[in-house]
Amino acid sequence: MMRKILALVFALACAGVQAAPLPAAARAEVEALLTRLQSSGCQFNRNGSWYSGADARSHLLRKLEYLEKKDLVKSADQFIDLGASSSSSSGKPYLVRCGAAAPVESKAWLSAELKAIRAH
């Protein structure tokens, strides 16, 4: 019985090793991006439906977690390209609409915000 418990603990520990979180600097940039989206007052379109910035943040954090578990993302730029630009289920691009302005693809909106973050 003790061997089974130790084997289970070892297997769980090894499973955790495979997940690779973003480096701290990249994580800070992604957090800043998602904070800007949440506090912008803009809406986020996913698969034809509009969501608040807070809902967008929650959704995109789930996508980030998935990408981290698969060790697919190492930078904020990769996160934008792989997780925050389009729906993984439909392939449709995400959109951001701020006030009365025409919607823009989230990749362009987030990339511009990332550039502004890096400029400061």
Residue 64 reports pLDDT greater than 80? yes
For residue 10, being part of any structural domain is answered with no
For residue 3, being part of any structural domain is answered with no
Q: Dihedral of CA 13/14/15/19: which sign?
A: positive
Quick one: average pLDDT of 17-26? Answer: 82
User: Residues 68-108: pLDDT tens digits?
Assistant: 999 999 999 999 999 999 999 999 999 999 999 999 999 99
For residue 7, being part of any structural domain is answered with no
Quote the number of domains for the chain.
1
Chain CA centroid to CA 21, Å: 12
For residue 13, being part of any structural domain is answered with no
Nearest one of 61, 66, 78, 105 to 23, comparing CA atoms: 78
For residue 15, being part of any structural domain is answered with no
Residue 27 reports pLDDT greater than 90? yes
For residue 63, being part of any structural domain is answered with yes
Residues spanned by the domain of 92 = 21-119
Torsion of CA 80, 84, 88, 93, to 10 degrees: -100
For residue 61, being part of any structural domain is answered with yes
Quick one: average pLDDT of 34-63? Answer: 97
Quick one: average pLDDT of 15-31? Answer: 82
Question: Contact, 107 vs 85, CB < 8 A?
Answer: yes
**Entry field: residues in the chain:** 120
For residue 1, being part of any structural domain is answered with no
